[in-house]
Amino acid sequence: MMSVIGFLLALGLVAAARFCVWPARTYRAWWVALVSTELGHVGVVLALALAACMTVLAAHTPERWEMGLAALAAAVALVAAGLFARPAWSAWRMSGRVARDLEEAFAAVTGAPAESLWSWRRLWRWPNRVERGPVETFALEAGAASAAVTAGAVNEGGAANGANGGNAAGLPVDFYRARVALGEVVPSRGAPQTAAVCVVVVHGGGWDSGDRGQLEAFNHWLAARGVAVAAVSYRLAPTHRWPAQRDDVRAAVDWVRANAARLGVDANRLVLLGRSAGAQIATATAYGQSLPGVRAVVALYGCYDLEFVWSIRSATDSLNSDKLMKQFLGGGPEAAGAAESYLSGSAEKLVHAGVPPTLILHGALDQLVWCRHSERLAAALARAGVRHAFVRLPWATHAGDANLHGPTGQLIAGAVLRVALSCAADGR
Tens-place pLDDT, residues 94-139: 999 999 999 999 975 544 555 789 999 999 999 999 999 999 999 9
Compute the average pLDDT of residues 396-411. Answer: 98
Rounded Cα gap, residues 407 and 27, in angstroms: 21
Residues 6+ apart with CB under 8 A from 91: 118, 393, 395, 407, 408, 410, 411
What does residue 340 show for φ and ψ, rounded to 5 degrees? Answer: -65, -40
Please name which of 415, 399, 175, 118 lies closest in space to residue 296, comparing C-alpha atoms.
415
Which segments of 320-387 are extended strands (E)?
Answer: 358-363
Please name which of 68, 38, 41, 64 lies closest in space to residue 54, comparing C-alpha atoms.
68
Neighbours of 15 (CB within 10 A): 13
Percent of the chain with pLDDT over 70: 89
Neighbours of 167 (CB within 10 A): 17
The crossing angle, in degrees rounded to 10, of helices 244-258 and 277-288 is: 70
Q: What is the pTM of this model?
A: 0.92
pLDDT at 158: 36
* Weakest mean pLDDT among 156-160, 361-365, 398-402, 423-427: 156-160
DSSP alpha helix (H) spans, 110-156? 120-123
Compute the average pLDDT of residues 68-96. Answer: 97
Answer yes or no: is pLDDT of 402 > 80: yes
Q: What is the mean pLDDT of the chain?
A: 90
Rounded Cα gap, residues 148 and 143, in angstroms: 10
The secondary structure of the chain in percent helix, strand, coil, rounded to multiples of 5, reads 50, 15, 40
Buried b (16+ CB within 10 A) or exposed e, 151-162: eeeeeeebeebb
Contact assessment for residue 319 and residue 27, using Cβ atoms and an 8 Å cutoff: yes
Q: For 34-48, write each residue's pLDDT tens digit.
A: 999 999 999 999 999
Please name which of 395, 399, 261, 241 lies closest in space to residue 319, comparing C-alpha atoms.
399
Rounded Cα gap, residues 75 and 60, in angstroms: 17
Rounded Cα gap, residues 130 and 132, in angstroms: 6
Distance of CA 208 to the CA centre of its chain: 18
